[in-house]
Amino acid sequence: MNKKMKRRVRIVILALSVFLSLCLTGCGSKERVPDSYIDAEIQYFIKNKNFRFLRIEPESYSFSVEHSPDKSMHTDNVSVSIDFQFPYGTATYFANGSYQDMRNNDVWDGSIHIQTTPSFSLNEKKLCTTHEMLGATITVSSLDLKKETITCEYSFNAYVHTGVLSGEYRQIEGSGTFPLEKATWSYISNRAAYSFTIAYDGEETTFCISPDYGLSLIHI
């Protein structure tokens, strides 16, 4: 076989390889909804601020999809895990949905439902800093999520009752180690992982810890 013939054979083999690859890829994509559809749903979720109590947009996000295609019905049921990265940790949302392959126009119809109760992962090192909020400054020197304790210095303005119908604002200052409580109240469970309470002069002020704002004052 001369060089010219060998070259023609190589070209034919290459063309067949590409053709088969495209066919196999096409068949696979028909069984599963493309990730671009899931990504579009997540971007819509962010832009419309459907975070309930997570109050800022994430710095970044990633997601993974588990597919359950039904070849006979041309459907794909999906389970999605979405990680939103914030300055002080990660909020993980879960979603599920179903898509139908509209075979006449090569488009998938469907959507996912993103649950609005996330799980949280906090970055202990990043949280060990000074947190400024309205009327309060908290400097965290230690955060131990295994022992569920926080050690900090604090300074905040608070209303203290001096009588049944009287009171005054005072500047509360001090330091200490406080137990962390998992955020289970309906008021904060969707936006915070933990809360801790500082007691003074017969009063209490509660702060929450979240991946978006770090520390924030709870107003009830």
The pLDDT assigned to 186 comes to 55
Could you tell me the pLDDT band of residue 1, with boundaries at 50, 70 and 90?
A: low
Average of pLDDT values for 180-194? Answer: 77
Please state the three-class secondary structure of 90-157 as a single string. EEEEEEEEEEEEECCCCEEEEEEEECCCCEEEECHHHHCCEEEECCEEEEEEEEECCCCEEEEEEEEE
Confidence class of residue 134 from pLDDT cuts 50, 70 and 90?
A: confident
CB 32 within 8 A of CB 101: no
18: confidence class by pLDDT, cuts 50, 70, 90 = very low
Model confidence pTM above 0.85: no
Q: What is the pLDDT of residues 207-219, one digit of tens each?
A: 999 999 999 987 5
| Res. 8: pLDDT tops 90 | no
Half-sphere exposure of 35 (CA within 13 A, CB side): 8
One-letter identity of residue 2: N
Q: What percentage of the chain carries pLDDT values higher than 90?
A: 62
pLDDT above 80: residue 91:
yes
Using DSSP's 3-state secondary structure scheme, residue 15 falls into: helix
Assigned token pair, 68 = 């359950």
* Cα distances (Å, whole numbers) of residue 92 to 65, 104, 120, 146: 13, 36, 6, 20
Which pLDDT value is given to residue 10?
45
H or E segment and range at residue 204? strand 203-210
Six token digits for residue 154:
């604090």
Separation between Cα atoms, residue 101 and residue 82, nearest integer Å: 23
How much is the mean pLDDT over the chain? 84
* pLDDT one-digit tens code per residue, 64-77: 999 999 999 999 99
At 21, the pLDDT band (50, 70, 90 cuts) reads very low
Total residue count of the chain as it appears in this document: 220
Residue 22 has pLDDT above 50, yes or no: no
Check if the beta carbon of residue 200 is closer than 8 Å to that of residue 158.
yes
Confidence of residue 2 (pLDDT cuts 50, 70, 90): low
Measuring CA to CA, which residue among 220, 213, 219, 218 is closest to residue 132?
213
The identity of residue 24, as a single letter, is L
Q: What is the dihedral of CA 69, 73, 74, 80, to 10 degrees?
A: -40
